[in-house]
Amino acid sequence: MEANKEISLNIGFIGAGNMAKAIGEGLIHAGVIKPSNLYISAPSDKNLDCWKSLGANTSHKNGYVVENSDIVFISVKPHLLDPAIEGIKTTLTQKTVNNKLFVSILAGTSLDILEEKLSEIVENVRVVRVMPNTPMTVHSGASVYCGGTNAKPEDLAIVKRILNHVGICEEVPEYLINAVGGLAGSGPAFVYIMIEALSDGGVKMGVPRALATQFAAQTVLGAAKMILETGKHPGQLKDEVCSAGGTTITGVHAMEVGGVRGALMNAVEAAARRSAELGPKK
């Protein structure tokens, strides 16, 4: 499948927030979908204005999105799943809306719950669960996905293709979704704190704030690219910077004394556990 081949399917978003916008804009900017093939619903005109400016189809009716889309992204907050589904049911103009693929980006919401609730609308519903992250906004996302009971191989293939246009993505078993959410979903916030702390360190040593933040962010970006592009283990790359008795190993020792490594591990664990708690329960 060619990466730049246009997607002729209609794609809908129930919920018009940042994550939905990142996916939609990413597809448009990649030249793989026309704005006229996008359908978006949200209760607020404020959230729809940016979509209107792109040339997408917008509505306050969730049923309108489902009826006109081949793929429907459910991109509301987890606690709004039931109202979103009720909004679909009350605004449908057709008796049946079969042959639709639903893609959920709701944290902590399992496939069996999604299938149970969406079966109120579609028989033999096809669902793919996705855990994305906010750097999708700058086409540098890291997402994972898994398919439900009735999801077909071609369903998984098109979801992977869509997500690849806004970053990288991998298929994983569902039991890993919350763990990856704690790592990649929440991880950007942890990295922002690290960048801010590095910038603070630079300011403490006399570097002007704007320059300190710029260099802290570029340093993190460069280090990440070193791992991704060289394929080397992070520990090996760290060792290559740490000369005997030098400045870097002295700084690394200060980090170990401060418990940075353990704090980050704890942060991922805490976020993953919270992700599991957020979704609706049976």
CA dist 139 and 28 (Å) reads: 12
- Is 28 among the annotated ligand-binding positions? no
- Is 18 among the annotated ligand-binding positions? yes
Whether the Cβ atoms of residue 227 and residue 237 lie closer than 8 Å to each other: yes
Whether the Cβ atoms of residue 40 and residue 48 lie closer than 8 Å to each other: yes
- Is 226 among the annotated ligand-binding positions? no
Q: For 6, which DSSP code?
A: P
- Is 266 among the annotated ligand-binding positions? no
Whether the Cβ atoms of residue 28 and residue 37 lie closer than 8 Å to each other: no
Whether the Cβ atoms of residue 14 and residue 77 lie closer than 8 Å to each other: no
Alpha helices in 129-231 (DSSP H): 153-164, 177-180, 187-204, 209-230
Residue with tokens 């700058």: 138
- Is 19 among the annotated ligand-binding positions? yes
- Is 15 among the annotated ligand-binding positions? yes
Nearest to 13 by CA among 157, 130, 135: 130
Q: For 5, which DSSP code?
A: P
Whether the Cβ atoms of residue 243 and residue 249 lie closer than 8 Å to each other: yes
- Is 206 among the annotated ligand-binding positions? no
> Which residues sit in the known binding site for NADPH?
62
> Which residues sit in the known binding site for NADP(+)?
14-19
> Which residues sit in the known binding site?
14-19, 62
